[in-house]
Structure 1
Amino acid sequence: MKDRKILYIEPFSGAAGDMLVAALLGLGADCKRFWKGIASLPLKEKPEIKMAKVGRNGIAALNFKVILKEGHHDHHFHRTFADIEKIIRSAGKLSPAVKKRSIGIFRRLAEAEAKVHGSNVRHVHFHEVGAADAIIDIVGAVLCLEILKVDRIVSAPVALGSGTIRSAHGILPVPAPATVEIIKGCPTYSGAVACELTTPTGAVMLKSIVDEWGMPPAGAIVAVSCGAGTKDFKVQPNVLRVSIMKCPVPQSSGREKIAVLECNIDDMPGEAFSYVCPELLKMGALDYALIPVYMKKGRPGIILQVICRPEGIAKFAEFILGETSTIGVRYRLEDREFLRREAREYETPWGLVGAKLAFDRNGNMMKYKPDFESCARLAKTSGKGYLSISGKIRDHINKRVRI
């Protein structure tokens, strides 16, 4: 069975467009195809692009820099969303999918800017993000993702930074208003550096491409790359790290044969079941149940029911006959329909939580449920009680899964 190709993003020093593009190119995206696509953008600034290997606090990284040619350094292009859409649609070497996704990212950015300034998308004039470098960053990242052909994108929580910044609107708190509007609903934290770590461009790119937020899935890391930020920090490397992982494909939804073994027991001490049942799971049973019944002569009893693979019938029958008081075991084969299940982990304000997700045959998420052990542990550490914390955790995860 073919593995899934997962892209894992770690924005512990924030995210900016140039950092993401550099990191994706470092993973092995076809540079020739990338340059052809970017060169086909009809930009008046006629920018030059430079790639260089640099170091950030001792960590090797790639730096992606857009340089304006002489005569354009002091000229600001305050483009509207319609202007940017026209530029992207006019690029002859970009696929329709790259154009559509890039325009969608800019539309999300325009909607955030419009909301922040009390305007509408048509009247929004981009300042910094309307310049050539932002257009190249967004289109370049989308193009890299098409080239890399990843199946899913997962990201760790985003460091936003703190302090204040100077902008076209004066001095603003970090994160900038547009960044806050864009990144709402995503897991974030301030980080260890008092400056702007995540830009509006970086925020909108993560919000638009990430399928899931949290810990990396189980799998093998096959490639790692770091995109360098502009500044050097003393406390940590100013890099955005990305990894390509090969992860096993979870079992598909469908139909299968299972075996059901049962026996009636009315003469065995109750504590014996506390030994037998965990052993059944250790042996590979899919599930078990203890069903209370009234048997002959009005005696209360238990039906021990075990579900296993058909090839396990003999093994489990022998165990039940040897470890319980029954002198007989009945069994049958049954068909069952099932949804594909997958275990994931999510970062929450109360700690790390495991969750079980279920998908239909088309890969659509149907159900999800926080792990009981995780909720019970966090109920104790938070002091909020199980029902309260499990409800809060479910609401938190609901914002991060796509049903």
Structure 2
Amino acid sequence: MNAIYFDCCSGISGDMCLGALLDAGLPLETLQQELSRLNLSGFELDVRQVRVQGISATDVSVKVNSPQPSRHLHDIILLLESSSLAPDVVQRSKAVFRRLAEAEGAVHGIPAEQVHFHEVGAVDAIVDVVGTVAGLASLGVEQVWVSPLPLASGWVQSAHGLLPLPAPATAHLLQGVPVYGTALRAELVTPTGAAIVSTLADGFGPLPAMTLGQVGYGAGKRSLAHPNLLRVFTGEIIPPAGGMETDTVSVVETQIDDMNPELFGSLWEALFNSGALDVMMNSVQMKKGRPGTKVTVLCHPEKTLAVSQCLLRETTSTGVRWREERRYKASRQVLPVDTPWGAVRVKFSSFKDAAGRNYHKAAPEFEDCRQVARASAVPVKTVYDTAQSAAIQRLQSFPES
């Protein structure tokens, strides 16, 4: 399966996406031809090869050379639907702009349809979004993977005045996306960039196993202490043997018979905050016939010490045991599905048995369902069942053999 990995070491923006795709082999003529399918005039692409702290990269700017009308979401939807772009490109581009409108609307307390697109609705953003979606299709990309995103602090000037970083719309778009903080005081992830990856990504995390094809660098506009680049890797995903993955986990355990039961609730939360992957508490019979609780924690090996210290700190236990175990895992990916109340992440898993038969499962993330249900004042079960139904529909596209 052809895939692309966005290495967002310096963040991501729409023009950086275009630059990285061009640098990775997307012909400029193809990009221009795709953009010409839009009924959009008054702009031109300025594409240059630059060196960013010694690294060759492609810099893309959209030059607007004539006045543009004010646009709302329905104007952009009409623009896309009246174009001669491929249906899939139209649908995915519409999805990106809908997410942008919903994020802006949520921030400003208005319906998405009433959002006046200042920055994001300008010609350059339309070109960035459509160019990225069409570029991925032209490169034959079937899966999009994205690294965790770096976020900075400080302020950014916008049509609404000064806004804190990350911009409120960006923060809304990145809900459910892995991020990490930096000491930089500059906008690293723009709303357009956040909308692109949060809509198009099939998964977030480290570079998946792949046979590497091309590497491309898209240049950012700001001068930073490190190279301001978006790097992309294209290649063919290497499927795990039999669809099964293996890794090592630590199992940390202790038994407790002298602690106030009310404290076990807070222990649960503290363990997950310390890096636990899973926590199990079972009733056991201990010495002298006393009832007790056996606490078993699974974690990545590098979190063993933190989890052990948490157990000693938060309980009456004076010692813990730990060991490492190998495990088989079905191949997993977390993808969003839409419900009438908002997007919910679903964990899809699959594996192949010895006879070559594929098996697939889907499980909505309960915390997502709870948050969506609370925000919309609907039962959690309703959201969960709706997300489960949407996930089952999506499973129909998974290979059966």
> Which category describes the TM-score, using the shorter chain as reference length?
0.5 to 0.7
Paired residue for 1:81, among 45, 59, 73?
73
Alpha-carbon distance in structure 2 between the residues aligned to 1:117 and 1:183 = 17
**How big is the shift at 1:117?**
0.8
Q: Which residue of 2 aligns with 1:204?
A: 195
Deviations 1:243-274 (A, max 9, x none): 0133323345xxxxxxxxxxxxxxxxxxxxxx
Q: Identify if the C-alpha distance between structure 1 residues 350 and 32 changes in structure 2 by more than 3 Å, giving closer, same or farther.
A: farther
Q: Which residue of 1 aligns with 2:15?
A: 18
Alpha-carbon distance in structure 1 between the residues aligned to 2:156 and 2:235 = 36
Task: Quote the sequence identity (%).
Answer: 35
TM, length-normalised to structure 1: 0.63
One-letter amino acid of the counterpart of residue 27, structure 1:
A
The 5-angstrom pairing of residues 135-154 of structure 1 reads 135-154=126-145
Q: Identify if the C-alpha distance between structure 1 residues 207 and 226 changes in structure 2 by more than 3 Å, giving closer, same or farther.
A: same
Paired residue for 1:28, among 5, 10, 25?
25
Alpha-carbon distance in structure 1 between the residues aligned to 2:143 and 2:178 = 18
Check conservation: 1:57, 1:232, Cα contact below 8 A.
Answer: no
Q: Identify if the C-alpha distance between structure 1 residues 136 and 385 changes in structure 2 by more than 3 Å, giving closer, same or farther.
A: farther
Q: Which residue of 1 aligns with 2:229?
A: 239
Mapped pair 1:63 → 2:53 = no
**Greater gyration radius:** 1
Alpha-carbon distance in structure 2 between the residues aligned to 1:215 and 1:64 = 27
Mapped pair 1:121 → 2:118 = no
Mapped pair 1:164 → 2:67 = no
Deviations 1:82-111 (A, max 9, x none): 00111111222x101100110011011111
One-letter amino acid of the counterpart of residue 169, structure 2:
A
Alpha-carbon distance in structure 2 between the residues aligned to 1:192 and 1:91 = 43
Helix, strand or coil at the partner of 1:129:
coil
Higher alpha-carbon deviation: 155-164 or 11-20: 155-164
**How big is the shift at 1:118?**
0.7
Deviations 1:311-343 (A, max 9, x none): xxxxxxxxxxxxxxxxxxxxxxxxxxxxx3235
Helix, strand or coil at the partner of 1:246:
strand
Check conservation: 1:15, 1:202, Cα contact below 8 A.
Answer: yes
One-letter amino acid of the counterpart of residue 33, structure 1:
T
Number of equivalent positions: 279
Check conservation: 1:77, 1:127, Cα contact below 8 A.
Answer: no
Q: Identify if the C-alpha distance between structure 1 residues 195 and 223 changes in structure 2 by more than 3 Å, giving closer, same or farther.
A: same
Alpha-carbon distance in structure 2 between the residues aligned to 1:21 and 1:60 = 15
Check conservation: 1:11, 1:240, Cα contact below 8 A.
Answer: yes
**How big is the shift at 1:160?**
2.1
Q: Identify if the C-alpha distance between structure 1 residues 350 and 137 changes in structure 2 by more than 3 Å, giving closer, same or farther.
A: farther
Which 5+ residue runs of structure 2 have no aligned equivalent?
A: 249-271, 278-296, 316-333, 336-344, 349-361, 363-401
Mapped pair 1:381 → 2:284 = no
Alpha-carbon distance in structure 2 between the residues aligned to 1:124 and 1:88 = 18
**How big is the shift at 1:134?**
0.1
Alpha-carbon distance in structure 2 between the residues aligned to 1:98 and 1:231 = 30
Q: Identify if the C-alpha distance between structure 1 residues 97 and 385 changes in structure 2 by more than 3 Å, giving closer, same or farther.
A: farther
TM, length-normalised to structure 2: 0.64
Alpha-carbon distance in structure 2 between the residues aligned to 1:121 and 1:10 = 30
**How big is the shift at 1:131?**
0.7
Cα RMSD of the aligned pairs, angstroms, is 2.9
Deviations 1:261-306 (A, max 9, x none): xxxxxxxxxxxxxxxxxxxxxxxxxxxxxxxxxxxxxxxxxxxxxx
One-letter amino acid of the counterpart of residue 79, structure 2:
I
Helix, strand or coil at the partner of 1:195:
coil
The 5-angstrom pairing of residues 167-316 of structure 1 reads 167-233=158-224, 235-251=225-241
**How big is the shift at 1:7?**
1.1
Check conservation: 1:77, 1:130, Cα contact below 8 A.
Answer: no
Q: Which residue of 1 aligns with 2:102?
A: 111
**How big is the shift at 1:373?**
7.3
Helix, strand or coil at the partner of 1:221:
strand
Deviations 1:120-149 (A, max 9, x none): 022111001111000000000000111112
Q: Identify if the C-alpha distance between structure 1 residues 349 and 52 changes in structure 2 by more than 3 Å, giving closer, same or farther.
A: farther
**How big is the shift at 1:210?**
1.2
